Structure 1
Amino acid sequence: MKRLWLWRGVVLPALLALMVWPAGAAQGPEAWERPGENIALGKSYTLVPRPNYALCRDDGDRTQLTDGQYTVGYFWTQQTTVGWSGGGQTRIVIDLGQVEPIVGVSFHTAAGRAEVRWPRSLLLFVSDDGETWWRAGDLVKLDRGPEPPADTYATRRYWTNQLATRGRYVAVVMVPTGSYAFCDEIEVYRGDQAFLTRPREGRAVADIDAAITALRFEEDVRAEAEALRERLGAARIAAGQKTRIQTMLDQAVVNLNEIEGVGGNERAIWPYGKAHEKLLAVQAALWRAEGRPALQAWAGSCWDPLLPWQAPERTAAANIDLVMMRNEVRSAAINITNANDAAQRLKVTFAGLPGSPKPEWIRVRQTVWTPAKPSSRAPEGVEQPRVAGSALPDAPDGVVTVPGGTTGQVWLSLDTSAVPAGDYRGRVELT
């Protein structure tokens, strides 16, 4: 009896808490006028990953998102809702049966209680054949509905009637803000027949994963562009120069939807294609307007934070002092700020040190800029950089490349086991 009593004593309060509905939870969605015929009604779809939220999971999850039935009651405890937990992206692909003109999409969900938050993004993609996809926008940004209440339980319909596209397949990729995601109905609205022959905008992508990756990089670069806009606004330069660089920035931002998500050697390193290079050229122009030299080398630290748009102080030192023991390996860093529009290839050699110009006991590596995921432990409201340096690649033949409008870093690893004890003075030459 004691074991049974303890079990009930733990579980019963949790069940009671779940059944306390917020005000208005028993109501269904508000009445509204659709922007067109719902051509997704009754259509089949696929879900990746499978729904896994236990309180609303059932066999009906395979049909409930297009059955025309909206949830009545506390959203994530009803069988008419489809839900996920774990915080990962969710992909819903609806098959309309044939290529259709599309003017809009709606997505009905709920949040505001029990750590359920509104989605960060609802990415839309369309395809005629399910293989080649086209971006149609982010429903969170396109939404024409009222803003949701803060920290208050509510249902909400994200919707737009601003699309002018077509496709047989419509994909909705839900990017959650927290650990949970829920939906009870998705609608797709028929558009004008002229949409069937209108030229598509943007670039086609081979699959949705590639499209999502490109969007991630584009989002990072757009945040970078806004930070550059703030630096330009605060810069102490002539008004005419500021206006000219502002125009350059506006033109560069227009092309950011062409961000490719890969850089040199088809890897995710800066710059992410030609559109990104044009944005970095704006930073280079700002540095030149501030009177900085086209190239500047300055002593860095292997361990201190460094960002690609970080420029040296006017009095930054250019010398490196190392005190090392025998048979020790230690690193040093040289930062290089490139205020040219184009990338600069520089050969690293040495003078005055044993084995110069290419000492075998000094290993030359180059820092490259790669995407970084913001930390979940950072203080709220603190802007985090979305890029980090990696000093993994060796510099082939001592040649390093610094993209235009960035600060790069040369990483030197010195191994004293190969040289006798002594006091050595020399130069690092960049040519």
Structure 2
Amino acid sequence: MISLPLLLASLLASAPAGPPVNLALGKPYRLRPRPNYSHCTDPGDAAQLTDGVLSKGYFWTRKETVGWVRANPVLITLDLGRVETIGGLSFRTAFGTAGVLPPEAIFVFAGSDGKSWRCLGDLAVSSNAGGKTPLDHPYQVHTYKSMKIRGRGRYVLVAVVPRGAFVFCDEIEVYRGRKSAHAGAEGPLVKNVKAWIHRRKVTRAYENRLQADLKRILSAAEEADAETQQEIRSRAARLERRVPGDAAGLPKNFRSLVPSTALHARILALHAPVLRARGIEKLTAWHTNRYAPLDYLALPPKGPAPRLEVFLMRGEYRAEVLNLTNPGDKPREARLSIRGLPGGPAPAWIQASQVLFIDTASRNPVADPLPLAHRGPRGWTVTVPAGLTRQVWFTFHPERVP
């Protein structure tokens, strides 16, 4: 015989859970900066993110949508009215065409006074955990949702970091959590959210760059012999484990050059045995068009030593380039000198610059900075990192040359 209380408890335990309670429904919020995308901005933006009404049709042309262009980050601060236990959050947006990309991050913070915050997580990461990351294309309406965003607070700050120029949203929901299951963020208090986000963007970009370079080198190593592959994989695994800790210790004046740190240089040096396996045994000089895109993990073409030709009159400026690839396991200094022209090994009317690579917000490193190469009495000296290609840019400007 089963008692009535036990029967009721059993029935309640087996009953399907209802939809989560949306604590944000109808609640006020503050937007920084103000929405400014002309096709959807209207006075209703002050209430549309928590009104429960979803956009229908082309997302960023509907008045139910709130939109920003060239705003980074977008800060949305919701007031739940009282301190609540938070058990999840969702953010509905769209992307996939017209240059609109998925957000880089959707950081969620909670606090009791609207001034000090604790980060509850990145909704863009938490929502995609265990599933497929949304693609950049085609056009799609997508809801980032996670029940792993947990904490307590009256105020919820949603900080959207765009990957591109646009941010769009038509609804944000904050779900009530169970007090017994509360597992809020235990990180330090954040006073300056923008500064915190900037720091996180830098460390994440650094981690992404190192992971991307590791992936490319491991892929290139597949064409090497089995022993070389095993050596590279073993070293790569050890270096990869150091990436998170190295990212956390980046200095405030960090610059995203390639390589940017000692760890990054060691990762890129894994490309050296790949080059040797491809037959590049010594420092190799080769040539490309000076305006052609250059890859720092490029494989030099086979052929004779390059010949540089420059045609110009007195007073004109012209430029030409030389690429140097280092298959060694350590950085290599190369001395470059001129023979047969007026002015000696390093004529004053010729300037040599090292072409450096720098990472970008789009995660595509570009060859752009041109610091001057060291000039000495016997020529110029340039440093070629292990496993990489370094380009040297020569600028010619003869004025009083016989």
TM-score, scaled relative to structure 1: 0.65
Partner residue, 1:24: none
CA distance in 2, matches of 1:181, 1:280: 38
Residue of structure 1 equivalent to 2:171: 184
Distance (Å, rounded) in 1 between the aligned partners of 2:252 and 2:322: 22
- Which letter maps to 1:160? S
Residue 36 of structure 2 aligns with an amino acid whose one-letter code is: N
Cα 1:326/1:43, change in 2 over 3 Å: same
Counterpart of 2:392 in structure 1 is 410
Kept in 2: contact 1:343–1:403 (CA 8 A)? yes
| Aligned-residue offset at 1:408 | 0.6
Q: Which amino acid aligns with 2:267?
A: L
The corresponding residue for 2:373 is: 395
Unaligned runs of 5+ in 1: 1-30, 375-384, 421-431
Distance 2:122 2:334 in 1: 41
> Residues of 2 paired with 1:393 and 1:73: CA distance?
51
Structural mapping, 1:264-343, within 5 Å: 266-293=254-281, 295-343=283-331
* CA distance 1:239–1:210, change in 2 (3 Å): same
Q: Distance in 2 between matches of 1:119 and 1:253?
A: 26
| 1:83 lines up with 2:61 in the alignment | no
What is the Cα deviation at residue 308 of structure 1? 0.8
**Correspondence 1:370 to 2:353:** no
Change (3 A) 1:148 1:242: closer
Taking a change above 3 Å as real, the CA distance of residues 212 and 290 of structure 1, as seen in their structure-2 partners, is: same
Q: What displacement does 1:309 show? A: 0.8
User: Secondary structure at 2:286's aligned position in 1?
Assistant: strand
Is the contact made by 1:133 and 1:208 (CA closer than 8 Å) also made in structure 2?
Answer: no
Q: Distance in 1 between matches of 2:165 and 2:350?
A: 47
* AA at the equivalent of 2:301: E
Contact 1:297–1:334 (Cα < 8 Å) also in 2: yes
Unaligned runs of 5+ in 2: 1-16
Contact 2:151 2:185 in 1 (8 A): yes
Find the counterpart in structure 2 of residue 171 from structure 1: 158
What SS does structure 1 have at the residue aligned with 2:358? Answer: strand
Which one of the candidate residues 36, 43, 51 is aligned to 1:52? 36
Relative to structure 1, the CA distance from residue 176 to residue 149 in structure 2 (aligned partners, 3 Å threshold; closer, same or farther) is: closer
Question: What residue identity is the alignment partner of 2:290?
Answer: C
Partner residue, 2:144: 158
Change (3 A) 1:289 1:345: same
Q: How has the CA–CA distance of structure 1 residues 166 and 278 changed in structure 2, closer, same or farther, with 3 Å as cutoff?
A: farther
CA change 1:172–1:328 in 2 (3 A) is closer
2:7 aligned residue: none
Cα distance change on mapping 1:418 and 1:249 into 2, 3 Å: farther
Distance 1:364 1:152 in 2: 45
Is the aligned partner of 1:211 residue 2:207?
no
Judging changes above 3 Å, is the alpha-carbon distance between structure 1 residues 266 and 333 closer, same or farther for their aligned structure 2 residues?
A: same
Which residue of the other structure, out of 224, 227, 250, is the alignment partner of 2:216? Answer: 227
Please give the alpha-carbon distance, in whole angstroms, between the structure 1 residues aligned to 2:89 and 2:302.
Answer: 54
Task: Report the TM-score when normalising by structure 2.
Answer: 0.69
Residue identity matched to 2:200: A
Residue type matched to 1:50 in 2?
R
Give the whole-Å Cα distance in 2 for the aligned partners of 1:231 and 1:395.
Answer: 31
Residues 29-76 of structure 1: CA distance to partner in whole angstroms, max 9, x if unpaired? xx9744xx76666766442331235675455534543x4x41156275
Helix, strand or coil at the partner of 1:309:
coil
Distance 2:40 2:341 in 1: 71
Q: String of CA shifts for 1:115-152, please: whole Å, max 9, x gaps.
A: 69673444325477968986933516733789989999
1:21 equivalent in structure 2: none
Q: What secondary structure does 2:269 align onto?
A: helix
Change in CA separation of 1:213 and 1:190 when aligned onto 2, cut-off 3 Å: farther
Is the CA contact 1:116–1:180 (under 8 Å) kept in the aligned structure 2? no
Distance 1:407 1:43 in 2: 56
Which of these residues, 134, 137, 142, is aligned with residue 127 of structure 2? Answer: 142
Partner of 1:10: none
Q: 1:360 aligns with which of 348, 363, 367?
A: 348
Query: Sequence identity, in percent?
Result: 26
What is the total number of aligned residue pairs between the two structures?
Answer: 369
Tell me the residue number matched to 2:91.
107
1:150–1:260 distance in 2 versus 1, CA, 3 Å: closer
Aligned pair 1:419/2:401, yes or no? Answer: yes
RMSD (CA atoms): 4.7
Change (3 A) 1:263 1:154: closer
127-136 vs 39-48, greater mean Cα deviation = 127-136
Q: Secondary structure at the match of 1:400?
A: strand
Give 1:360 deviation, angstroms.
1.4
Amino acid at match of 2:355: T
Structure 1 residues 335, 94: CA separation in 2 closer, same or farther (over 3 Å shift)? same
- Indicate conservation of the 8 Å contact 1:89/1:176, yes or no: no
Task: Specify the alignment match of 2:10 in structure 1.
Answer: none
Contact residue 106 and residue 159 of structure 1 kept, 8 A: yes
